[in-house]
Structure 1
Amino acid sequence: MTKTPIAVEDGQLLEQARQALWQAVTERDEYAAGQAVFALQDAGVSVEDVLLDVVVPVQHKVGAEWAADRLTVVQEHAATAIHERVIAALSHRPRETGPPGAAGTVTVSCVEGEWHALPARIVAEVLQQRGYRVDFLGAQVPTARLVAHLHQTAPAALALSSSLPTRLPDAHKAITAAQAVGVPVLAGGAAFGPDGRHARQLGADAWAPDARAAVAVLDRGLPRPRTGAIRQTVDDLPHLVDQEYTLVARQKRQLVKNTLAGLDGRLPAMRAYSDAQRERTAEDIGHIVDFLAAALYTDDARMFRGFIAWTGDILEARGVPARVLDPGLALLEEELKDFPRALGFLAQGRAALRGDTSPAPGPHPTV
């Protein structure tokens, strides 16, 4: 079934659909959400345009409104779930291209530990609309299982998705393992940086900022890597020889415990915290350590500084001064006094809290 595309240059039809979809997902009205996107397709807008020019912008708005404390985390989850079901429904409507698989086979998967599957799901659907056969493996795929699947199916490429920088070490393992069985890797997602710098750093064969760019890369074709050639981590990331990443990652539990105990001494108000408040504080410290470890893995001060600034903005939106993060960072500096790179990143984080807008240094010169 082929539809005659309509002219949408002025964006009016798409904007109306975005407004209708936004209202539907914020009111938790799955039926209305479906009607908003199906009406567009019935009017001649391609599924690809519906997904990328309507669903994606509305999902971005959902995240922005949560960050600004205008949506609760439950409302954000509900809106995301509606989008997932709408996309599933779209995938079962008549296709606009030739027979499935005519363009080749691609495996689309999230990195191990990555639960944000919606971006990968959208890429998978766009690829299918463009004539690719897609094995969509979903969220949180263990690397060993992923590689076994690639070995059995030998797709033209693996499209690997990760939204969280803390999952980059797992992404690196997946990239090198996939290439070792002869499958090239196209990386995508916020974790790899807005310019794809971490995709290149970790040795991915290509990077794409969005689904349309991913299609363009795959249409050009990616050469198959030589099978059996397994790179060592330090081949891509020579700065890891200092062991700072490994030691911080291994000591996470103790770092969180010691920092929490130190905060008890420095912030008397914490002594009156409920168990739930202490648990949330421990989780926050754990996230800080996770992002510090990821920054050490990539040797990218901008990553850690950006996370601290973002966390400060989230706290401010919720009526909590961002400066409450500073004592925790100071305590981590004391815990990691023998780790020069970690100390530099922590200092950058504290500078971000003070409003210091001077640029953070880039990655280590050896990268």
Structure 2
Amino acid sequence: MRHPTGAADLPDRLWQAVADGDEYTAVDILHKAAADGVDEETLLLEVIAPVQEKAGAEWAAGRITVAQEHAATAISERVVATLAHRRAGPGRHAPDRGRVTVGCVDGEWHAFPARLVAEVLRLRGWRVDYLGARIPTPHLVAHLHGTDPDAVLLSASVPTRLPTAHVAVTACQAVGVPVLAGGRAFGADGRHARLLGADGWAADARGAAAVLETGLARPGPAAIRQVADDLPHLADQEYTMVVQSRPLLVKQTLADLETRFPAMRGYDDAQREHTAQDLAHIVDFLATALYVDDPGIFTAFLTWTAEILEARHVPARSVATGLDLLAGQLREFPRTLGLLHAGSAVVAARPTRPVPGPHPKA
């Protein structure tokens, strides 16, 4: 980490302040570090970003609540804002590298990674229009018409946003603006960004800055294309059928689980709602894996789900039961059935961990 000797504990100190919900101490830690000579990009990417990642990991492990994780994110966002305000003022140089738009695809709530990218690009001399989370594609395109940026940077963290991201990529390119994709949804190596036709991909903020320095060519008339041009496997209609059947699939699987596990009939409303949400997420990731024809999206989600359930004292075997019940309803769809069988195999291969509590949950 590039900062003065004695400041190596910055991430730990910041995490303690964030974990305590102490926004003022968090701001003070960062501002003192900046005054001591730690450059702002380092603070953003090597101090604040790891703290935010730790908040997510602590929630996944069941060591902090959803509310605490949200509070940590809110503090991180305000800390970033105070650094930006500290930078502004008399003597500030006007951006001269060009203009870019940064934001999240529609439906994507995790805006913090995009915010870090926006601030790093501003530090490097770009004029940035930061649009935040959940940008409806028509509104994004309208913004591009009015600003004509050199590029649009689209962020997506959750793979289930990939179909929406695909629509956004093609819409931006259709109006002549190249797209640089980033975020975990696009894969650790950017494979899904390439599959969906993005003009570039970056793993992080520094990578995004490097791509922009090289430059992205503006799309020509050939950029106007249909979804099937990128994803010919969608001709089998399995993705469409699963998406359209989602409510019925969740409802029927929930009913079948009650038959398989009579104890579920004693669930209260909150427990039933949580189980239905778990099933809905499984169907969503199943549909996304069908969309991009990548079993890894589905199996990775199931592995993560099993770990989350076990951290909350729910047996992971309930996931396998839910997959079996879904397979029974979707037996006429070969690609879908293959994904469900792959998911069942991954869940079955996990080490069995003793979990207290009598009630299984999908």
Into which bin does the TM-score normalised by the smaller protein fall? Answer: over 0.9
Contact 2:4 2:38 in 1 (8 A): no
Out of 111, 134, 140, which is 1:140 matched to?
Answer: 134
Out of 174, 182, 190, which is 1:188 matched to?
Answer: 182
Aligned to 2:38: 45
Aligned to 1:178: 172
Aligned to 2:360: none
The 3-state SS of whatever aligns with 2:135 is: coil
The 3-state SS of whatever aligns with 2:96 is: coil
Contact 2:320 2:348 in 1 (8 A): no
Aligned to 1:21: 14
Select between 348-357 and 121-130 the one with higher mean Cα deviation. Answer: 348-357
The 3-state SS of whatever aligns with 2:128 is: strand
- Alpha-carbon displacement from aligned partner over 1:303-353 (angstroms, at most 9, x marks no partner): 100000000011111121111111111110011001111111111111111
Q: If the length of structure 2 is used for normalisation, what is the TM-score?
A: 0.94
Out of 106, 120, 126, which is 2:114 matched to?
Answer: 120
Structure 1 residue 231: Cα displacement? 1.0
Structural RMSD (CA): 1.7
Contact 1:95 1:129 in 2 (8 A): no
- 1:244-259 matches, within 5 Å, as 244-259=238-253
Matching residue's letter, 2:161: R
Does structure 1 residue 82 correspond to structure 2 residue 75?
yes
Identical residues among aligned pairs (%): 59
Contact 1:114 1:162 in 2 (8 A): yes
Structure 1 residue 93: Cα displacement? 1.1
Structure 1 ranges of 4+ moved more than 4 A? 95-98
Select between 348-357 and 108-117 the one with higher mean Cα deviation. Answer: 348-357
Does structure 1 residue 321 correspond to structure 2 residue 315?
yes
Aligned to 2:201: 207
Structure 1 residue 220: Cα displacement? 0.8
The 1:305/1:275 distance shift into structure 2, 3 A limit, reads same
Structure 1 residue 7: Cα displacement? 5.6
Matching residue's letter, 2:349: G
- Alpha-carbon displacement from aligned partner over 1:28-59 (angstroms, at most 9, x marks no partner): 00001101111111111111110000001111
Matching residue's letter, 1:8: H
Matching residue's letter, 1:278: R
Aligned to 2:63: 70
Does structure 1 residue 106 correspond to structure 2 residue 80?
no
* Structure 1: gaps of 5 or more residues: 1-5, 358-367
State the distance in 2 between where 1:215 and 1:95 align: 21
State the distance in 2 between where 1:316 and 1:356 align: 12
Does structure 1 residue 155 correspond to structure 2 residue 149?
yes
State the distance in 2 between where 1:100 and 1:320 align: 54
State the distance in 1 between where 2:178 and 2:92 align: 25
Q: If the length of structure 1 is used for normalisation, what is the TM-score?
A: 0.92
- 1:214-293 matches, within 5 Å, as 214-227=208-221, 229-293=223-287
State the distance in 1 between where 2:220 and 2:276 align: 45
State the distance in 1 between where 2:250 and 2:126 align: 46
Structure 1 residue 95: Cα displacement? 5.6
- Alpha-carbon displacement from aligned partner over 1:39-98 (angstroms, at most 9, x marks no partner): 111111111110000001111111111111111111100000000111111111126996
Matching residue's letter, 1:352: V
Out of 290, 307, 311, which is 2:305 matched to?
Answer: 311
State the distance in 2 between where 1:327 and 1:190 align: 28
Aligned length: 350
State the distance in 1 between where 2:272 and 2:289 align: 26
State the distance in 2 between where 1:90 and 1:219 align: 24
The 3-state SS of whatever aligns with 2:86 is: coil
